[in-house]
Amino acid sequence: MLKPDTVQLPDYSKFVKKEFIITEDIEMKKSDIGRPMLKGTRFVIKKIIDNTVTIKISNTKEELEKIGMLEYDFNRVINQSKKDLLVLKKVCNMWEDDSDKFIVDKNSVWNKPDYSNDQRGGHCINTSYYGIPSDHPDKYGSAKAWFNDKGKYVNSDCVMTIDYKRTDGKVNIYSFQKGQNIFYSKNCYGFIIKGIEEQLAGWEKRIPYYKKWVFDWIFGTKEISIKTLNKMTFKPYK
């Protein structure tokens, strides 16, 4: 009796749970790993299922700093923050140069009192700037300042804004409003700018708070394709 044909699957057991070291810098930003992998970076293959390989970087923090693995993320965030600031400042200039062309958008659902629990309407925006005075006139509705039982100022980065539009039809260039005739208040954009400027200063100084973020990104397990893995130059690490 003839036996039926069988499909032979590749055996990856000799790679799983083994540690490897990269022997050559390689640009991986456009791959599914999403970052450069530099010489001296070590990783463990946690598992391989079908075409998906799960890896985890295994260097110490000190080793990663020494070989420069943090610089990609620092430079990425710094460059994006600078781009965002340029765009936001252009939007603020639109307010300054043509303030008479901004009117309240009466058709915006966000301007209705139902959404803010306040007759002034508007919606709450987290600006990431924590120096807003508790008595600022835009701190009402959902952004109203309050203090917890320990006296901590809560919602300190929040302000309310109503939606505006321009009478000349000129569109916004920032974030999800890009390409639409929808604008926040000038105050709101101003606080967002201050928040980004403060964060940017911290990123440029490589403060421990942001360094922890970068380490968390690097040390997180990553799922990549076997094709991506084969683009990396590595050898077993002992």
User: Does residue 180 have a pLDDT over 70?
Assistant: yes
- Contact (Cβ atoms closer than 8 angstroms) between residue 166 and residue 102: yes
Q: Name the pTM for this structure.
A: 0.88
Per-residue confidence (pLDDT) for residue 29, from 0 to 100: 87
118-133 b/e (C-beta count within 10 Å ≥ 16 → b): eeebbbbbebebeebe
Per-residue confidence (pLDDT) for residue 62, from 0 to 100: 98
Q: Residues 33-36: contacts with CB within 8 Å, 24+ apart? A: 33/222, 33/224, 33/228, 34/222, 35/72, 35/73, 35/218, 36/72
Per-residue confidence (pLDDT) for residue 2, from 0 to 100: 59
Q: How far, in Å, CA of 22 to CA of 41, rounded? A: 5
What tokens appear for 197 in the block? 């400027």
The topology under which CATH files domain 19-69+219-236 is SH3 type barrels. (2.30.30)
pLDDT 10s digits, 52-109: 999 999 999 999 999 999 999 999 999 999 999 999 999 999 999 999 999 999 999 9
User: Does residue 4 have a pLDDT over 70?
Assistant: no
Range name among 2-6, 28-32, 146-150 with the lowest pLDDT average: 2-6
Domain ranges in the chain are 19-69+219-236, 73-204
Percent of the chain with pLDDT over 70: 96
